Chain A
Amino acid sequence: MSLFARLAAAPGGRAGLTILGLMAFIAFAAPALFPGDPLRIAGPALLPPFSSSEFPLGTDRLGRDVLACLVHGAQISLLVGLAAAAAAIFVGMVVGALAGFAGGLVEEALMRVVETFQIVPGFLMALAFASVLGASLPIIILAIALAAWAEPARLTRAQVLAIREQDYIAAARALGMHPLEIAFKEILPNALAPVLALSSVIVAGAILTEAALSFLGLGDPNVVTWGSMIAEGRNVIRSAPFLSILPGLALVVTVLGVYLFSEGLADTLRQNGEERP
């Protein structure tokens, strides 16, 4: 059975796949489902949900279509989450691998920097970074990545160090393989697996961090994200609680989907390992 089929067979994995598939579809189809700027003022303000066929989930404070915002929000929230996680994992892996291979002073210096980013509360750092440099999408992605790259860096280095000592590497060395060839062909591919396993958690963390930053007013005002919808809805939370509850639910479901997926994946991989002779 392929990995995918196995994943789809496990109930948790299936749920995770379904949720993520649905979210990805919504995100991709957003421009087709709701063409134009979702922030456009489309109707009367503060229509409650289910009261109008034109705006099934109602409208917000300025009369924007909540459903359109939710759908477009999926796009930006996922984009920010994925981009930030990709950036964090890429930087983390490069720095970690560099430290692991270089050793000596370079390793010492790099790991000091990694340590710095681990002991300073990441969210605090992201907050300072985004508010000082002005919250626009690239800055927000950078800020989130900044707060998240240390863990993959640490893990990559640990993996590289561990694998370097293994017999098959020694064997490769004995065979006279070029160190770079060993690094890229033998060590890195093996070191990456656990780091990539971490990636779903980083994506979930990035989506949540983006929401929290937007909630504190550090969102890009030109696009709509679930976090910025919660922040806007907060001002009217008692007269129109649905405005902050709906995007919050979307967040919870998406993050849950990511977790279910990663858990199912981990289970499937483990079963794979156990079944191997």
Chain B
Amino acid sequence: MPVLLSRRLLLQSSAAFATLATLGFRAQAQGTGGRLIVAADSEPKNLNPAIVASNGVFFIASKVIEPLAEASFTGEDRLEPRLATGWKGSADGLSATFTLREGVKWHDGKPFTSADVAFSAMNIWKPLQNLGRIVFANLSNVETPDEKTAIFRFSKPTPFQLIRNALPVVTSVVPKHLYEGTDIAANPANNTLIGTGPFKFAEYKPGEYYRLERNADYWSEDQPKLDEIVYRVLPDRAGAGTALEAEEIHLAAFSAVPLTDLARIGKEPGIQIISAGYEALTYQLVVEINHRRKELADLRVRQAIAHAIDKDFVVRTIFLGFAEPSTGPVPHNSTEFYFSDVPDYEFDVDKANALLDEAGYTRGSNGTRFSLKLLAAPYFNETRQFGDYLRQALAAIGIDAELANNDSAAHQKAVYTDHAFDLAVAPPVFRGDPAISTTILVQSGIPAGVPFSNQGGYANPELDAIITKASETVDGKARIDLYNDFQRLVAEDLPLINVAEWGFITVARDTVLNVGDNPRWAVSNWADTALKG
């Protein structure tokens, strides 16, 4: 089977798009219900996407609970309406108005209204949600002049650009009537979800599977196409590919099939490999640096490390080509924000060695300049492998790095609370806007213990000023300019080193239709996903 390239590339040609659209249409007509079985690699403790905005939760919950808008390849502002049909920010950045969809019902039959949105925003997104706390930090109240209008009021100017970019991730709406007056964090509805989405939460057998059922009353006519979605829990990475080949499951998303197996599995009849559908979920491979180490506080040393990393090798060998070398903190596929005019650190071991000599760290008698503690995040095979690679790359420039094997909790504590690292490998996510989870990686003044943030002791007043200014700049164009400066400054001063950026791969049987048709496909609602014949 052919490897479909990122759909974004295909869209550059309208002819190609037309073909795809027809294909999509034909495919939809062929869908005949049925049960889709997909691999799930984790069982989130709290399945409520309004509280935990993470891909692990969205993968399952996004079919049941919907956001106000979803990401789209073609829609205006790269968005597609879901529970909101229209949105508009005021010029002063102090309010945002959402027009809500008519005729939507919760799975328990109650009508969906603006009160649900107001409740979710004020009682969950802002106070409880991991990302909403940042995006809605200045939200003061939500007015509901009628059942289908919600007006968000902000105490300080908040760029609507940010709100818009964050809509798919931070605005999962939950029913007020089930949560009001309860302990929200402990509400049983966090695990037996009630939403407005195309599928109803039917059953969960811990350790085995989740089962979702078709919502016959879904607001979109003719949707969903499937009768059922079953998530089979396969925590083991090697398990998904085998299960797929043995035709026990239809689909494995989020690169559950190891990249190394793709070339082989792609040749199997009836299996397709799809890299589209992750454009808005870009993961970044980053080397975090502890600037408290005197050697690493020297820009020349950081530059040397950047020169020592062969990004092409990383992309080619670790990611087997399913990634792109990074130039800075914003990934290439963020067409809105990406800025390419930044310093480039080509792979050059001699230059790296020269920089280290110049910085005064000459090689000792054993060929070593100094030793470092290297912690690779254990979350992905690729981050571990990059840790192994980086150790070797550093050895080539006379830096002796010792790897530690920590599990997730220990890594979290060591890096983000105890700062017990010199270099760390991290996979932060770019979530459509730098202000959501990117600037926090380099901003100063973040207390210890905050995960996925700057805990390397880096402080650059110029960079901090840009970040603060951008967070209050309402004008989209001016804000983009500020983020261009941000990218240039990060690439120049290297508070961290961006190595590569990658989306995931979906492997599916070719009976599964309409896979990857939006930039957050794996975590979108799958209303148009269908099974052939």
Binding between chains A and B = yes
Residue contact A238 to B392, C-beta cutoff 8 Å: no
Residue contact B237 to A235, C-beta cutoff 8 Å: yes
Residue contact B258 to A134, C-beta cutoff 8 Å: no
Question: Contacts of B391 on A, CB cut-off 8 Å?
Answer: 39, 221-222
Known A40-B392, A235-B258: A62·B385 in contact at CB below 8 Å:
yes
Q: How far is it, in angstroms, between the C-alpha of A44 and the C-alpha of B110 when the chains are bound?
A: 61
Residue contact B389 to A62, C-beta cutoff 8 Å: yes
Q: How far is it, in angstroms, between the C-alpha of A37 and the C-alpha of B368 when the chains are bound?
A: 14
Question: Contacts of B406 on A, CB cut-off 8 Å?
Answer: 134
Residue contact A239 to B264, C-beta cutoff 8 Å: yes
Residue contact A239 to B261, C-beta cutoff 8 Å: yes
CB distance from A126 to the nearest CB of B (A): 15
Residue contact A63 to B317, C-beta cutoff 8 Å: yes
Question: Contacts of B384 on A, CB cut-off 8 Å?
Answer: 221
Residue contact B242 to A134, C-beta cutoff 8 Å: no
Q: How far is it, in angstroms, between the C-alpha of A197 and the C-alpha of B232 when the chains are bound?
A: 48
B31: Cβ under 8 A from any A Cβ = no
Question: Contacts of B237 on A, CB cut-off 8 Å?
Answer: 235
B407: Cβ under 8 A from any A Cβ = yes
Known A40-B392, A234-B238, A239-B260: A134·B410 in contact at CB below 8 Å:
yes
CB distance from B371 to the nearest CB of A (A): 12
Residue contact B392 to A41, C-beta cutoff 8 Å: yes
Q: How far is it, in angstroms, between the C-alpha of A62 and the C-alpha of B260 when the chains are bound?
A: 11
Interface size on A, residues (CB 8 A): 27
Main secondary structure of the interface of A (DSSP, over half): loop
B510: Cβ under 8 A from any A Cβ = no
A236: Cβ under 8 A from any B Cβ = yes
Residue contact B395 to A37, C-beta cutoff 8 Å: yes
B519: Cβ under 8 A from any A Cβ = no
Q: How far is it, in angstroms, between the C-alpha of A234 and the C-alpha of B258 when the chains are bound?
A: 10
CB distance from A29 to the nearest CB of B (A): 22
Closest to B402 in A: A222
Residue contact A221 to B387, C-beta cutoff 8 Å: yes
Residue contact B261 to A238, C-beta cutoff 8 Å: yes
Residue contact A41 to B389, C-beta cutoff 8 Å: yes
B512: Cβ under 8 A from any A Cβ = no
Residue contact A62 to B261, C-beta cutoff 8 Å: no
B147: Cβ under 8 A from any A Cβ = no
Q: How far is it, in angstroms, between the C-alpha of A131 and the C-alpha of B391 when the chains are bound?
A: 22
A61: Cβ under 8 A from any B Cβ = yes
The digit string for A104-125, where 1 denotes a CB below 8 A from any CB of B, is 0000000000000000000000
Question: Contacts of B376 on A, CB cut-off 8 Å?
Answer: 221
Residue contact B405 to A62, C-beta cutoff 8 Å: no
A219: Cβ under 8 A from any B Cβ = yes
Would you list which residues of chain B between 227 and 257 have a CB under 8 Å from chain A?
237-238, 241-242
Known A37-B392, A61-B260: A237·B405 in contact at CB below 8 Å:
no
The digit string for A17-51, where 1 denotes a CB below 8 A from any CB of B, is 00000000000000000000101110001100000
Residue contact B404 to A236, C-beta cutoff 8 Å: no
Question: Contacts of A186 on B, CB cut-off 8 Å?
Answer: none
B318: Cβ under 8 A from any A Cβ = yes
B388: Cβ under 8 A from any A Cβ = yes
Question: Contacts of A66 on B, CB cut-off 8 Å?
Answer: none
Closest to A218 in B: B405
Residue contact B388 to A62, C-beta cutoff 8 Å: yes
Question: Contacts of B241 on A, CB cut-off 8 Å?
Answer: 238
The digit string for B372-411, where 1 denotes a CB below 8 A from any CB of A, is 0000101001001101110110010000001111110010
Residue contact B381 to A235, C-beta cutoff 8 Å: yes
A263: Cβ under 8 A from any B Cβ = no
Residue contact A39 to B404, C-beta cutoff 8 Å: no
Q: How far is it, in angstroms, between the C-alpha of A136 and the C-alpha of B406 when the chains are bound?
A: 9
B5: Cβ under 8 A from any A Cβ = no
Question: Contacts of A256 on B, CB cut-off 8 Å?
Answer: none
A245: Cβ under 8 A from any B Cβ = no
Closest to B236 in A: A234
A240: Cβ under 8 A from any B Cβ = yes
* Contact for A238 among B242, B317, B387, CB less than 8 A: B242
A220: Cβ under 8 A from any B Cβ = yes
* Contact for A136 among B387, B388, B405, CB less than 8 A: B405
Question: Contacts of A37 on B, CB cut-off 8 Å?
Answer: 392, 395
Q: How far is it, in angstroms, between the C-alpha of A239 and the C-alpha of B242 when the chains are bound?
A: 12
Q: How far is it, in angstroms, between the C-alpha of A100 and the C-alpha of B272 when the chains are bound?
A: 67
B263: Cβ under 8 A from any A Cβ = yes
A260: Cβ under 8 A from any B Cβ = no
CB distance from B41 to the nearest CB of A (A): 14
A145: Cβ under 8 A from any B Cβ = no
CB distance from B367 to the nearest CB of A (A): 11
Question: Contacts of A217 on B, CB cut-off 8 Å?
Answer: 378, 405, 407
A135: Cβ under 8 A from any B Cβ = yes
Q: How far is it, in angstroms, between the C-alpha of A132 and the C-alpha of B381 when the chains are bound?
A: 20
Residue contact A131 to B407, C-beta cutoff 8 Å: yes
Q: How far is it, in angstroms, between the C-alpha of A273 and the C-alpha of B402 when the chains are bound?
A: 52
Q: How far is it, in angstroms, between the C-alpha of A237 and the C-alpha of B265 when the chains are bound?
A: 12
Would you list which residues of chain A between 221 and 240 have a CB under 8 Å from chain B?
221-222, 234-240
Question: Contacts of B389 on A, CB cut-off 8 Å?
Answer: 41, 62
Q: How far is it, in angstroms, between the C-alpha of A247 and the C-alpha of B317 when the chains are bound?
A: 22
CB distance from A222 to the nearest CB of B (A): 5
CB distance from B165 to the nearest CB of A (A): 35
**Other than the known A41-B392, A134-B410, what 12 A-B pairs have Cβ atoms closer than 8 Å?**
A37-B392, A45-B317, A46-B260, A218-B405, A221-B376, A221-B387, A221-B404, A222-B403, A235-B237, A235-B260, A235-B381, A237-B238
Top 4 nearest A-B pairs (CB, nearest first) are A221-B403, A236-B260, A135-B405, A239-B264
Residues of A that sit less than 8 Å from B by CB: 37, 39-41, 45-46, 61-63, 131-132, 134-136, 217-222, 234-240
Subset of 12 A-B contacts with CB under 8 Å: A39-B388, A39-B391, A41-B392, A46-B260, A62-B318, A62-B385, A62-B389, A134-B404, A217-B378, A221-B388, A221-B404, A235-B381
